[in-house]
């Protein structure tokens, strides 16, 4: 049975089939799941027997297939299988604002799969927003500026916040990082203490690979310093300086983003946000180009398995 949520989310009830094996059920319904994602942007499968991490990983792998190995991640997480990870280790009391997974990288996943092993006691929703609707709702002059110059991501890898460059790039030598970055147009600079500073230019709007529709596809607001909680931002500035935050975003020509612009983008996302609280046994499948996602603050234990599938080259 298929039930529809507003805008971007279809819901598929697996419990009506009383499945004994989640991965087998997903394999048998893969065509239906894919069709619903293509039509609506995301589908929530409810009622799967995800009794433990192993069954969740197996179900996610049925969705993503081979899996995309993450490179340039910004927060630690454990890997359980090729392309299958724990949720990013991000403070439970801080939101992860709307974004498209790896939208700053040369290769981003086409599809995301989230499987709920343990729902939080409160909050922790993986909310969704239609990137086409967000693009249409943003001021035309702001969109035109970002389409003209793109957006810029600045990162400062250090051993204290986020990932080390070794973990982010999956290599051990500086030369390997530089080779990776040169191939993808990422500028690098090394500090005297061995820290890595990178700058990369990215498009803010892309064409959907299947439909050709224009989508607001980026992490301009989420990775901007003004989105951080004021006390967190002040601490990071005091530790690393205003020009050496672990991550920050700018207009593509290097001009600093105004706080009002960052707030506006987040407000537009909020107008198009769809929320469905997690239940144990949920499987959420998302078109990563068409639909942005977030993670809201939560209380209690929360375990969501995440899969990255397919490939979208910008």
Residue 159's pLDDT band (cuts 50, 70, 90): low
Instruction: Tell how far CA 164 is from the center of its chain.
Output: 19
Which DSSP string corresponds to 169-185? HT-SSHHHHHHHHHHTT
pLDDT at residue 3, as a whole number: 45
What percent of the chain has a predicted confidence (pLDDT) above 70? 97
Dump pLDDT digits (tens) for 228-268: 878 878 878 877 777 778 889 999 999 999 999 999 999 99
- Of the candidates 189, 218, 202, 235, the residue with the CA atom closest to the CA atom of residue 288: 218
Task: State pLDDT tens for residues 77-135.
Answer: 999 999 999 999 888 998 999 999 999 999 999 999 999 999 999 999 999 999 999 99
Average pLDDT in the 149-171 region? 88
Dump the DSSP string for 43-89: EEEE-----SHHHHHHHHHHHHTT-----S-SS---EEETTEEEPP-
Rounded CA gap, 280 and 294, in Å?
Answer: 19
- Indicate whether 5 pLDDT > 80: no
Compute CA distances 105 → 142, 146, 224, whole Å.
23, 17, 16
pLDDT at residue number 59: 98
Average pLDDT over residues 33-57: 96
Structural domains of the chain, ranges and CATH numbers in brackets: 2-130+274-313 (3.60.130.10), 132-268 (3.60.130.10)
Q: What is the pLDDT of residue 272?
A: 96
The pLDDT tens digits for 171-203 are: 999 999 999 999 999 999 998 878 899 999 999
Distances in whole angstroms, Cα of residue 139 to Cα of each of 218, 220, 258, 260: 16, 15, 15, 13
Helix (H, G, I), strand (E, B) or coil at 119: coil
Task: For residue 7, name the pLDDT band (cuts at 50, 70, 90).
Answer: low
Mean pLDDT, range 276-298, rounded to an integer:
97
Question: In this structure, what token pair is assigned to residue 9?
Answer: 């989310």
């Amino acid at each position: 049975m298929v039930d529809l949520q507003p805008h971007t989310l279809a819901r598929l009830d697996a419990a009506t089939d009383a499945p004994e094996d989640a991965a087998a059920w997903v394999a048998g319904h893969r065509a239906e799941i894919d069709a619903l994602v293509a039509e609506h942007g995301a589908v929530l499968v409810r009622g799967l027997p995800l009794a433990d991490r192993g069954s969740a990983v197996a179900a996610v792998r049925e969705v993503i297939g081979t899996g995309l190995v993450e490179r340039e991640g910004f927060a630690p997480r454990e890997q359980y299988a090729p392309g299958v990870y724990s949720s990013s280790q991000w403070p439970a009391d801080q939101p992860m604002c709307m974004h498209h997974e790896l939208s700053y990288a040369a290769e981003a996943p086409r599809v995301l799969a989230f499987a709920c092993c343990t729902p939080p006691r409160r909050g922790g929703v993986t909310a969704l927003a239609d990137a086409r609707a967000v693009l249409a709702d943003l001021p035309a002059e702001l969109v035109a500026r970002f389409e003209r110059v793109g957006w810029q991501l600045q990162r400062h890898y250090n051993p204290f916040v986020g990932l080390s460059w070794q973990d982010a790039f999956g290599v051990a030598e500086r030369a390997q990082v530089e080779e990776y970055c040169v191939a993808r147009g990422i500028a690098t600079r090394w500090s005297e203490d061995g820290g890595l500073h990178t700058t990369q230019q990215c498009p803010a709007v892309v064409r959907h690979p299947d439909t050709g529709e224009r989508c607001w596809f980026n992490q301009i607001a989420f990775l901007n310093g003004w989105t951080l909680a004021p006390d967190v931002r002040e601490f990071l500035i005091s530790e690393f300086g205003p020009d050496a935050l672990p991550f920050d975003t700018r207009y593509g020509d290097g001009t600093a983003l105004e706080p009002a612009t960052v707030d506006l983008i987040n407000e537009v996302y909020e107008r198009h946000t769809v929320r469905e609280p997690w239940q144990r046994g949920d499987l959420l499948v998302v078109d990563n180009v068409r639909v942005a996602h977030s993670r809201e603050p939560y209380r209690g234990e929360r375990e969501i398995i995440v899969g990255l599938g397919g490939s979208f080259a910008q």
